[in-house]
Amino acid sequence: MNISVLKESNTIIIKQLKDLLNQMPYDAYAKPLDLLSGNSIGKHVRHVIELYQEFFSGIVLGEVNYDQRKRIILLETDIHSAKESLQILLEKLVEVSADASTLVKANFAGEEAIQLPSSISRELAYNLEHAIHHMAIIQICVKHSFPLVPLSEDFGLAYSTIKYNKTNVHANLSATSE
């Protein structure tokens, strides 16, 4: 069933992000970084959290509107609040039991918001890819600015990249052993 694979994949990603925050020094989380044009890792984490929050609110209402995220500054400045919010997201993921249709409301180039048909599974896939994208940026910042903070091997990598790397490593090992 697609929804269970998506729930598991999102759980893994959210846990990776939470694990990073458990390893990161408190003051590093909200530190403005030149590499991010003065933004912080915390801002990226807040953004990821808030999109998931809008997803969960939206599936209850039948309409997801990512443009309405709250932009809660505490989530980008207080690592403990971010970790608590990530834990809540993990708990809410467990509660998702079935796929269903939903709508996504968004503002693009026009003045008025438009509605697009979607589904819970499609929005879980969107949030997964969106989180990985921001985690890739976070990975660069951690390696550059906080090299002593450990990262999991797959942190910030898309699942397709992980799969490709595993296949490619095996192909390279076979080629070099011949």
Sorted by where each starts, the structural domains of the chain and their CATH numbers stand as 2-177 (1.20.120.450)
How many helices (H) and strands (E) in the chain?
A: 7, 3
Q: Report which DSSP code applies to 156.
A: T
Residue of 57, 82, 71 whose CA lies nearest to 138: 82
CA pair distance 42, 48, nearest whole angstrom: 10
**What is the residue-level pLDDT of the chain in tens, covering all 178 positions?**
589 999 999 999 999 999 999 999 999 999 999 999 999 999 999 999 999 999 999 999 999 999 999 999 999 999 999 999 999 999 999 999 899 999 999 998 877 889 999 999 999 999 999 999 999 999 999 999 999 999 999 999 998 998 898 888 755 554 444 4
pLDDT value at residue 2: 84
Radius of gyration of the chain (CA): 18
pLDDT value at residue 41: 98
Residue of 165, 164, 98, 89 whose CA lies nearest to 127: 89
CA pair distance 62, 12, nearest whole angstrom: 26
CA pair distance 64, 162, nearest whole angstrom: 30
Q: Write the CB contacts of 10 (distance below 8 Å, at least 6 apart in sequence).
A: 93, 124, 127, 128, 131
pLDDT value at residue 172: 55
Tokens standing for 49?
């959290």
Statement: the pTM of the whole predicted model exceeds 0.85:
yes
